[in-house]
Amino acid sequence: MKKRWQIFWHTIFWIVLITFFLVVARNNAKFTTEDLLVIFLLYPVINISLFYLNYLLFIPLFFDKKRYGFYAISVVISIIIYGFVKYGVALIFKSIVLMRMKGEVVSFGSYFLSSVFTSLIFLFLSAVLKFMVDWFLNERIQRDLENQRLTAELAFLKSQINPHFLFNSLNSIYSLAYQRSETTPEAILKLSEIMRYMLYECNDNKVDLGKELQYLQNYIDLQKIRFGNKAFIDFKVEGKVECQQIVPLLLIAFIENAFKHGVANNALTPIRLLIDVEDAHLHFYIQNRKHRNNRDEVGGIGLNNVKRRLDLLYPGKYNLDIRDEADTYTVELSLVL
């Protein structure tokens, strides 16, 4: 289909160009209809055939394969052959092509040099067009390859989220089951709701912000069950959550990190989580008090993952500030949705 469109537009271009010159020349009274057909139709067809001989045969067959010697020989031979062909046509229409104003006949040498110059112009134009087309095609191929690479990388990053989240959640539920807690079934039910969202709601590039916030609330509820309702987190959502959309599973890593490395069971130092929404802008703030005896590296796969996803999905549209201080760990994210 693409090749048909190329043929169509090339044909339209030459028809329009030849028609333009025919119309311009038709206003000149010295040109008869036969003159116009020979000078502005027959010779252009010959030159156009040389144009496509170079465009479709010589460049792909020789130049693109770096057989420059064969390309040069082919071009020179074609110029010579076309010079003789044009002169042969000129002899047939001698009175139109070769006769000068004073009745003198144009010599073979003069005509041949003129033919060579014309042939070089058409060869040059075909080469320029071929190189421009190839350049644009290569650029498009490079963009497609880069998009495919980014898509594959994003798919890989997203695939890491589910196992990472599931691993942490199952650890929590295992702890409840080990303690024979009565809240274990409730935790399993909450986890199933979370996994349903992750499996069926997060297949699109973006999801409704309201659904993502509900997912965060479900995760927080699961952690409260894990801590026996002794997990203290000050979670506030300010602003209007309407039809905004966000990349799914983007914020959960920060909350996971706070519960894993922070102090969540102290009412005096709760985890503070604030999400402020204003039109298409989202401000995310979370702060937790750090365990003094926690030697695990803060961050890990989760935070590295979210940083990379932000770079790929929100380039130039976010600001991430992470402050790892002696007693507290704070994350602030400003995002243009």
pLDDT tens for the chain, 337 residues: list them: 567 878 888 888 888 887 877 776 666 656 677 777 777 778 888 999 999 999 999 999 998 888 989 999 999 999 999 999 988 888 888 877 776 645 577 888 888 898 899 899 999 999 999 899 888 888 887 777 666 666 665 565 565 555 666 776 777 778 778 777 777 888 888 888 887 887 777 777 888 999 999 989 988 888 887 777 777 889 999 998 888 999 888 888 888 888 888 888 888 888 999 999 998 899 999 999 987 665 455 555 567 778 888 888 898 899 999 998 888 899 999 999 8
8 Å CB contact between 43 and 116: no
Q: How far is the C-alpha of 38 from the C-alpha of 150, rounded, in Å?
A: 56
Q: Which residues pair with 323 in a beta bridge?
A: 330
User: pLDDT tens digits for 49-103?
Assistant: 999 999 999 999 998 888 989 999 999 999 999 999 988 888 888 877 776 645 5
pTM: 0.56
State the Cα–Cα distance between residues 256 and 316, nearest whole angstrom.
25
What pLDDT does residue 76 have? 93
Helix (H, G, I), strand (E, B) or coil at 67: coil
Which helix (H) or strand (E) element contains residue 110?
helix 108-178
> Which pLDDT value is given to residue 238?
92
What whole-number distance in Å separates Cα of residue 120 and Cα of residue 73?
Answer: 14
The answer to whether the CB of 87 falls within 8 A of the CB of 108 is: yes
DSSP output for 185-209: HHHHHHHHHHHHIIIIISSSS-EEH
**How much is the pLDDT for 281?**
93
Q: Using an 8 Å Cβ cutoff, are 259 and 290 in contact?
A: no
Which residues lie across from 305 on neighbouring strands? none
pLDDT at res. 293: 63
**Where in the chain are the domains?**
2-143, 181-336
> Nearest 5 degrees, angle CA 15-CA 19-CA 20?
120
- Tokens for 173, please give them: 């539920």
Dist. CA 276–CA 186, nearest whole Å: 30
Domain 181-336 in CATH 3.40.50.10190? The answer is no
Which residues make Cβ contacts (< 8 Å) with residue 229, sequence separation at least 6? none
